[in-house]
Amino acid sequence: MEHIDKVKGIYPPSRRSAPQDRAVSTAVIRRLPRYHRYLGQLLREGKARISSSELSQRMCVTASQIRQDLNCFGGFGQQGYGYHVQYLYDKIGELLGVNEHYSAVFVGLGHLGHSLVSSAMLERRGIRKLAIFEKDPALVGQTVAGLPVLPAEEAETWCRRHKVDLAVLAVPREQAQPMAEMLACAGVRGIWNFSDTELDLHIDGMEIENMHLSDALLGLCYRLRTSKGQASDKGREEDK
Amino acid sequence: MEHIDKVKGIYPPSRRSAPQDRAVSTAVIRRLPRYHRYLGQLLREGKARISSSELSQRMCVTASQIRQDLNCFGGFGQQGYGYHVQYLYDKIGELLGVNEHYSAVFVGLGHLGHSLVSSAMLERRGIRKLAIFEKDPALVGQTVAGLPVLPAEEAETWCRRHKVDLAVLAVPREQAQPMAEMLACAGVRGIWNFSDTELDLHIDGMEIENMHLSDALLGLCYRLRTSKGQASDKGREEDK
């Protein structure tokens, strides 16, 4: 911690220009959520600064890659001083939209929907959770994780009235497309889609993030099949 | 369907050589789960063949990209004949390890764990679900989605005895690393990690797929912030 004052002195936000989006390449942008996650972890551990070599070891990225990436934020100190964790965390968060205070609703209260509703993931990224929409009348009227469960058919009117930015869609595959269209009509601009189907919504300014868990699973299976310790070499119990 | 016999004639597996892994580039491999998903959807719709231009439209990929990718599988017909859906689906599945009949356990029966246990995603990819491990004694002894819920502390012995290939890890962040080490000791070779922390396991032949949902969420927030219809232009209800 001996250099912490100097470190702070290196990047006081007032003397540094704010990061310009156009100065940050798409490739760097794609890596930012991971930096944000690691920096958040460092903050939780009470670390005020970290060297690029230590961050490099933790993140399994080369120190030179880290220096290149974080230079975009005016967030690099002189050699030997390291990074100011809180400053970088805030700047990266700002660029990623953490401070935009987006509002979100959830659609679908199956197990996956329930786990997303219950998670602190959204609040931690500055997103306000407003309500849950669900088809099952047995669930409508309940309060889950402090949020009202409203009838799915009211989603459009409700989201329009409350200017909802973001919807977390966790409905069965066949319900995903009509619900997404309804949300788009209501002015929702972002859909985080867990419905294992790609949405066909080509609307200007509409952003969709499809979460295909099964694609990741197949990627893992491929690596299992092609990695050294082949399962077939193991002489499985059930094959005996 | 008029050319279906000819189409079939173009790629009878017996007359075509099996796809060679070394002939398929990493970039193609990364795209394969998505092809597999779309071809599965076509099969559910009862489609026996599809032209590259139709597949291209559906997948929002250029037809030439599709032709290039699928050529690796001997799965392309003459122009005008299209692809044999079942053949391609099977070949891609084979390459991805769908036919390896991997065995899997689940660790953690929170909402997310529960939703993964209940999903048909694993069976559909040929993976056999064996058991669930959970710390909470109130849940141990129950049967969830047809699987026994066993005490977490028995995971190592049990997985070793049953030669488990794959574990789906959905435990709180602080439990993830010790549990992953225990599973690795038990010979589990693949971990599908939903614990929002990166595992530090550098073991030869061990494959880890980290599912960082929050990274995807932040990516979506970034796109929301930088896309045309900025939320700040909307005049939000709460700003009035």
Concatenate the DSSP letters of all residues of A71-122 into one string. HTTT---STTT-EEHHHHHHHHHHHHTGGG--EEEEE--SHHHHHHHH-SHH
Task: Say how many CB pairs under 8 Å bridge A and B.
Answer: 209
Nearest to B231 among A165, A226, A231 (CB): A165
How far is the C-alpha of B51 from the C-alpha of A196, rounded, in Å? 23
Average pLDDT over every residue of A179-193: 96
- Residues of A whose CB is below 8 A from B41: 197
Per-residue pLDDT of chain B (240 residues; tens, 9 = 90+): 333 333 333 343 333 444 444 457 888 888 999 999 999 989 989 999 898 888 998 888 898 888 888 877 665 555 667 888 998 899 899 889 888 999 999 999 998 999 999 998 999 889 999 999 999 999 999 999 999 999 999 999 999 999 999 999 999 999 999 999 999 999 999 999 999 888 988 888 899 999 999 999 999 999 999 886 544 444 343 333
* CA angle at B87 for the pair B82 and B92, rounded to the nearest 5°: 105
Residues A76-105 have a mean pLDDT of 85
In this structure, is the dihedral angle defined by the CA atoms of residues B113, B119, B123 and B124, taken in order, positive or negative?
negative
* pLDDT attached to residue A74: 61
Separation of alpha carbons B70 and B68, rounded Å: 6
pLDDT of A18 over the 60 cut:
no
Determine, for residues B221 and A32 on separate chains, whether the beta-carbon distance falls below 8 Å: no
Residue A12 pLDDT level (bands cut at 50, 70, 90): very low
Separation CA B52–CA A181 (nearest Å) = 27
Side chain identity at B152, as an amino acid letter? A
* φ, ψ dihedrals at A129, nearest 5°: -90, 125
Search chain A and give the residue with CA nearest B116. Answer: A112
Q: Do residues A117 and A104 lie in contact, with contact meaning Cβ atoms separated by under 8 Å? A: no
CB distance A37–B189 less than 8 Å? no
- Report the pLDDT averaged over residues A11-28: 53
Q: Which has the higher per-residue pLDDT, B24 or A216?
A: A216
Question: What amino acid occupies position A38?
Answer: Y
Q: Is the ipTM of this complex over 0.95?
A: no
Query: Residue B95 burial (CB < 10 Å; 0-12/13-18/19+)?
Result: buried
Task: Taking each helix axis as running N to C, give the angle between helix B26-44 and helix B52-59, from 0 to 180 degrees, rounded to the nearest 10.
Answer: 100
Q: Which of B101, B51, B56, B96 is nearest to B76 (CA)?
A: B51
Which of A125, A215, A236 comes nearest B34 by C-beta?
Answer: A215
Measure Cα distances from A26 to A46, A211, B111 in Å.
30, 20, 34
CA distance A216 to A223: 11
**Contact call for A224 and B204, based on CB within 8 A:** no
pLDDT tens string A40-87: 989 989 999 898 888 998 888 898 888 888 877 665 555 667 888 998
Return the structure tokens found at B195. 């614990």
Burial state string for A75-92 with b = 16 or more CB within 10 A and e = fewer than 16:
bbbeeebbbbbebbbbbb
Classify residue B195 by burial, with Cβ atoms within 10 Å: 0-12, 13-18, 19+: buried
Query: In chain A, what residues touch B163 (CB-CB under 8 Å)?
Result: 234-237
